[in-house]
Amino acid sequence: MVPVISLWLPILLSAVVVFLLSSVLHMLLKYHISDYNKLPDEDKVIDDLRKANIPPGDYMFPYTSDSKERNSKEFQDKIKAGPSGVFTLFPPGSNFMGSSLAQWFVYCLIVGVFAAYIAGRALGPGAHYLAIFRFAGATAFAGYSLALLQNSIWFKKSWSATLKSMFDGLLYALFTAGVFGWLWPSA
């Protein structure tokens, strides 16, 4: 067994590596550019949303919190007539890139801590590189990728966008596994 605290360097370095790798994937390769589509008549839709003065948040439409209403003919007619969907509104004028990047880095650290915990509980000092790679990599893949499936299952995010993000997660997991295998404490 290897305590999590003694794996602080692979946790930190894997977070840095994943952070940099994600920047390369999103800024240089640009294969995520097709994850979203432009709204038809975007200016009118944005103007209508602005006029509605909807506060930032997550919305579903049509919406009901009552199962009796959900089963009503009126609600079912709304669903059949469409449109229906889910959307998120950001605060107006906000440039959230800085805070999002900071949160992403903290998330990378959290995934690294879990990879360290699982691998550290399963393996001792001086473990074989491939054993470390398997435990840290599988844990990191779970942390970076598996929960993304819910977005396509429940919220109808396009499967291609989800699968591309899961591929990113696989790359993040492989790099995380490599860092852990490289910096694992010797016996």
pLDDT tens, position by position, 133-169:
999 999 999 999 999 999 999 999 999 999 999 999 9
Query: What's the rounded Cα separation, in Å, for the pair 62 and 81?
Result: 11
**CA atoms of 71 and 134, how far apart (whole Å):** 47
Q: pLDDT at position 143, please?
A: 98
Cα-atom radius of gyration of the chain, to the nearest Å? 21
| Structure token digits, residue 106 | 């903290």
Q: Is the pLDDT of residue 94 over 80?
A: no
Residue 112's CB is within 10 A of a number of other CB atoms, namely: 29
CA nearest to 138, candidates 185, 184, 181, 182: 181
pLDDT at 66 > cutoff 80: yes
**How much of the chain, in percent, has pLDDT values that exceed 70?**
100
What is the amino acid identity at position 81?
A
pLDDT band at 95 (very low <50, low <70, confident <90, very high): confident
Q: Terminus-to-terminus CA distance in the chain, angstroms?
A: 11
Could you tell me the pLDDT band of residue 74, with boundaries at 50, 70 and 90?
very high
Residue 89's H or E segment, with its range, is strand 85-89
> Which ranges of the chain would DSSP assign to H, the alpha helix?
8-24, 42-52, 67-70, 73-81, 97-122, 129-144, 149-155, 159-183
CA 133-144-179 angle, to 5 degrees, is 30
Q: How confident is the model at residue 120 (pLDDT cuts 50, 70, 90)?
A: very high
In this structure, the number of other CB atoms found within 10 A of the CB of residue 136 comes to 32
**pLDDT of the residue at 52:** 95
Band of residue 96 on the pLDDT scale cut at 50, 70, 90: confident
C-alpha to C-alpha distances, 109 to 31, 122, 128, nearest whole angstrom: 25, 20, 24
